[in-house]
Amino acid sequence: MIRAIKVRLYPTKEQEILMFKSAGVARFSYNWGLAYLNNYYEENKKSLGIGYLRKIFTQLRNTDEFSWLREVSSEIPQQTLKDLGEAFDNFFQKKGDYPRFKKKGKCETSFFHLNNKLVVKDNKVKLEKIGYVKIKDEGRLPVGNYKKDKIKVTNPRIKHNGRYWYLSLGLEIENNEPIELTGESIGVDLGIKELAVVSNIDTPFKNINKTKKVKKLNKRLKKFQRKVSRKYDNLKEGKSFKKGEKLKKTQNIIKLEKEMMLLHKKISDIRLNHIHQTTNTIVKTKPSRVVMETLNIKGMMKNKHLSKAIGEQAFNKFINTLKYKCEFNGIELVEADRFYPSSKMCSSCGSIKKDLKLKDRVYKCECGLVIDRDKNASINLANYKSA
């Protein structure tokens, strides 16, 4: 079982320069690879394998013109090109969009680190070509030489959130303690009004985006966005600006955009924390089976009236988080058929109410049942029988 671990790094100024340089090389190699593959396809009308692309990049790295690429670990661009290959695989399998170029300041500042070159000791982690960096660990990272001591970790990444550096990785652990499950089947109904309604829990899990704290942060974010927009408009109206020219950002715009990025990160962290708390509470009831709807999130996002609210709920993140927690605890997770009428079916008599509308928040059945619409759906999901 893989357990996600994230620790904060405290680099010196010299180390931070090297870390930003490493992230820059990662971004450059991704954009170089994407441009090379696009040009190759236009000229030859066929695709080029990522393995061959990595060999071409190695030759490029060894030239005098690109000697600056050798200032960071060689594994960084190699893994970045692998990531590009995975992005293309997802596109061809219709699991994602066509890869896009990464723009400085707009994309995530991060880079890969080879797992067997990590060394942790004395609240410090050794990063290749960077040296020992102080960490705030609290005993979560295994101490030792990961290659010599055969400590298994997956996908180590060093990331910058606009203010702080973090090391995130997956640690392989064994769950040796069997958990005694209740034998109960429960249903989880996701929604916009509430994040989740669970059949065996009376109180629904709130929509964190409706809380006072998140609303206040979103209001502040809109204020910054309006300020930046006005400053860009002023630049375009300036005498020195010519149509078609690239706008040169002022220091005020750079400062405001940094504040905006930090606000985005803060809101995202609040949502992620709420998802973890919700999924933990569900798993701690120790059911033997959890049933959820199969959501067509891509289709739901096409609704212009609800797309913003659906995106803020981060349903995909919720589902994936609940999946790995259920797997770790030996709980079966079932996704009900997409056309299963969990909302329209009466959880008491089984009759289906075909004229149920989205605005009908209370389910009223001819058999006399009066129940919250989402609670009714969660009970139906708990009773779901797969074909």
Residue-wise pLDDT tens digits, 309-320: 989 999 999 999
16 assigned to some structural domain: yes
The answer to whether residues 159 and 21 belong to one domain is yes
Between CA 342 and CA 350 the distance in angstroms is 10
Q: Are residues 166 and 242 in the same domain?
A: no
Instruction: Give per-residue pLDDT as tens, 223-248.
Output: 999 999 998 888 877 666 666 667 77
Query: End of a domain among 172, 198, 225?
Result: 172
Mean pLDDT computed over 39-53: 93
Judge if 99 and 29 occupy the same domain: yes
Total number of domains constituting the chain: 2
pLDDT bracket for residue 176 (50, 70, 90): low
Looking from the CA of 321 toward its CB, the CA atoms found within 13 Å total 18
Please check whether residues 23 and 159 belong to one and the same domain.
yes
Give pLDDT tens digits for 315-355.
Answer: 999 999 999 899 888 899 999 988 888 888 998 888 888 88
Q: Which residues contact 12 (CB under 8 A, 6 or more apart)?
A: none
Distance CA 194, CA 265 (A): 22
Quote the pLDDT of residue 136: 87
The type of residue at 21 is K
pLDDT at 332: 93
pLDDT band at 294; cut points 50, 70, 90: confident
Q: What is the mean pLDDT of residues 370-387?
A: 88
pLDDT in tens, 71-130: 999 999 999 999 999 999 999 998 888 999 999 878 899 999 999 999 999 899 999 999
Structure tokens at 294: 């199969």
Per DSSP, what are the bridge partners of residue 145?
Answer: 119
Same domain, 150 and 95: yes
Within a domain: residue 285?
A: no
Tell me what the pLDDT averaged over the chain comes to: 90
Are 18 and 162 part of one and the same domain? yes
DSSP helix/strand/coil, 121: strand
List, for residues 140-152, the tens digit of each pLDDT value: 899 999 999 988 8
State the pLDDT at residue 2.
76
Domain identity same for 168 and 216: no
The whole-angstrom separation of Cα 372 and Cα 379 is 11
For the cut 60, the answer to whether the pLDDT of residue 387 exceeds it is no
Question: What distance, in Å, lies between the first and last C-alpha atoms of the chain?
Answer: 29
Question: Does any domain span residue 371?
Answer: no
Domain finish residue from 223, 258, 275: 275
Same domain, 168 and 20: yes
- Residue 306's pLDDT band (boundaries 50, 70, 90)? confident
User: Is 327 part of a structural domain of the chain?
Assistant: no
Based on the fold, state whether residues 255 and 124 are members of the same structural domain: no
Distance of CA 287 to the CA centre of its chain: 27
pLDDT above 90: percentage of residues in the chain = 63
Report pLDDT for 9.
96
Rounded average pLDDT over 146-163? 91
Of 223, 240, 275, the one marking the end of a domain is: 275
Closest-CA residue to 378 (of 184, 102, 119): 184
pLDDT in tens, 193-206: 999 999 999 999 99
Closest CA to 281 of 200, 222, 386, 337: 200
Residue 304: per-residue pLDDT: 85
Range of the domain at 223: 209-275
Is the same domain home to 233 and 94?
no
Pick the range with the lowest mean pLDDT from 1-5, 172-176, 267-271: 172-176
| Rounded CA separation 185/383 (Å) | 7
Q: Three-class SS of residue 281?
A: helix
Give the tokens for residue 267.
């809101």
**Residue 19 shares a structural domain with residue 124:** yes
**Using 50, 70 and 90 to split pLDDT, how confident is the model at 161?**
confident
Average pLDDT over residues 63-75: 94
Instruction: Assess whether 159 and 218 both reside in one domain.
Output: no
